[in-house]
Amino acid sequence: MKHLLSTENLSLSDAIRVLDTAEEMSAVGEREVKKLPALRGRTVVNLFFEDSTRTRISFEAAAKRLSADVINFAAKGSSVSKGESLKDTAQTLAAMGADAVVIRHWASGAPHRLAATDWIDAAVINAGDGTHEHPTQALLDAFTMRRHWSQVNGIESTGAALKGMRVAIAGDVLHSRVARSNVWLLKTLGAEVTLVAPPTLLPIGVEHWPCKVSYDLDQTLEAGVDAMMMLRVQGERMNASFFPSTREYSRRWGFDDARLRALDDLGMKDTIIMHPGPMNRGLEISSAAADSPRSTVLAQVRNGVSVRMAALYLLLSGDSREAAPNVSQSSKETN
Residue nearer to ligand NCD on the CB measure, 119 or 255:
255
Residue nearer to ligand NCD on the CB measure, 42 or 134:
134
Nearest distance from C-beta of residue 334 to ligand NCD, angstroms = 29
Nearest distance from C-beta of residue 163 to ligand NCD, angstroms = 27
Burial class (CB in 10 A: 0-12, 13-18, 19+), 194: middle
Q: Which of 5, 62, 114, 178 binds ligand NCD (CB under 6 A)?
A: 178
Nearest distance from C-beta of residue 332 to ligand NCD, angstroms = 35
Q: Which of 128, 135, 171, 254 binds ligand NCD (CB under 6 A)?
A: 128
Q: Which of 34, 54, 64, 281 binds ligand NCD (CB under 6 A)?
A: 54
Q: How far apart are CA 223 and CA 319, in angstroms?
A: 45
CA distances from 18 to 45, 180, 320 (A): 20, 19, 10
Q: Using the rule CB under 6 A, is 180 a contact of ligand NCD?
A: no
Q: Using the rule CB under 6 A, is 308 a contact of ligand NCD?
A: no
Degrees, nearest 5: CA angle 114-132-51: 75
Q: What are the DSSP E strand ranges found in 49-198?
A: 69-74, 100-105, 123-129, 166-170, 192-196
Q: Using the rule CB under 6 A, is 134 a contact of ligand NCD?
A: yes
Q: How far apart are CA 328 and CA 335, in angstroms?
A: 11
Q: Which of 26, 137, 188, 303 binds ligand NCD (CB under 6 A)?
A: 137
Q: Using the rule CB under 6 A, is 55 a contact of ligand NCD?
A: yes
Q: Using the rule CB under 6 A, is 146 a contact of ligand NCD?
A: no
What's CA 277's distance to the chain center, in Å? Answer: 10
- CB of 195 closer than 8 Å to CB of 171: no
Strand order in the sheet with 100-105: 69-74, 43-48, 100-105, 123-129
CA dihedral 247, 175, 22, 317 (to 10 degrees): -150
CA distances from 208 to 138, 172, 212, 300 (A): 20, 18, 10, 29
Q: Site for ligand NCD (CB under 6 A): how many residues?
A: 11
Q: Using the rule CB under 6 A, is 277 a contact of ligand NCD?
A: yes
CB-closest chain residue to ligand NCD: 232
Residue nearer to ligand NCD on the CB measure, 7 or 55:
55
Residue nearer to ligand NCD on the CB measure, 55 or 303:
55
Nearest distance from C-beta of residue 327 to ligand NCD, angstroms = 27
Residue nearer to ligand NCD on the CB measure, 232 or 308:
232
278 preceded by a cis bond (ω within 30 of 0): yes
Coil/strand/helix, residue 230: strand
Residue nearer to ligand NCD on the CB measure, 51 or 69:
51
Residue nearer to ligand NCD on the CB measure, 159 or 277:
277
Q: Using the rule CB under 6 A, is 232 a contact of ligand NCD?
A: yes
Residues at the interface with ligand NCD (CB under 6 A):
54-55, 128, 134, 137, 177-178, 232, 234, 276-277
